[in-house]
Amino acid sequence: MKKDITYSWGEDHLLISLGNRIQPGIRIFFIIEFVFTVALATIFLVQSLPFSGGFTHLFAGICSMLIYPLAIYRFLSRVFFNEQLLVEPRGLTIIRRTPFYRDMKSYYWSSIGPIHYEGRDKKTDHPLKGKYYDYFGFEAQEHLIQSLHRNGNLYFICGRNQVHFARDVYSWDAEKLVHMMKLYVGRSIQLGPEWEQMLQEHEMDH
């Protein structure tokens, strides 16, 4: 379930909690993948019994049992992914958490290039999509694949690296997010040219 983005103002920082913003379709995909993996591991485990049947049975049984913790780790890491942005006068820290790890990466404003909004990739309709309706789900499947492989909808260049963040944060929330960041650090933040067009479109919608 998506949560509202929260902004916590401190004396020397701004903490932006993005929470877990997994789309319902992606969450269902993760659940199906987990159930399928566990079911497949169970079938292999049952087929390998009894372990006294020889080395092949024993090896297959051990491999099958190893799949369970790996499937649990993968499922929980993806479903309970959490992201925060720590905005400070000196730079930006991107914090990512799962039940199993905590990753923090900091970048100085002086080394951060303009922040860009990427959003969904522009693409033509799937060739097998119906004229008015996606009868067989081909279009929905492509959107699902895009979401699965996206690391973040915002990014900047730092050195030779393209740093993505703000996973599944789309334009209406991204505009507020960068606005709050600019309120805190002012001109330290540079924005890509696409933001001006996005703001104009937002004003036209209202």
Per residue in 143-173, pLDDT tens?
A: 454 444 456 889 999 988 999 999 888 888 8
Structure confidence by residue, pLDDT tens digits, 50-85 = 766 677 778 888 888 999 999 999 999 988 999 999
Instruction: Please answer whether residues 205 and 171 qualify as being in contact, where contact means their C-beta atoms are separated by less than 8 angstroms.
Output: no
Structure confidence by residue, pLDDT tens digits, 108-143 = 999 999 999 986 444 444 444 444 444 344 444 444
CB atoms under 10 Å from CB of 95, counted, come to 19
How do the domains of the chain map onto residue ranges?
6-27+79-205, 28-78
- CA 190 from chain centre, in angstroms, equals 23
Q: What is the pTM of this model?
A: 0.75
H or E stretch including 176?
A: helix 171-185
Q: Cα–Cα distances in Å, from 104 out to 4, 83, 133, 140?
A: 22, 10, 43, 33
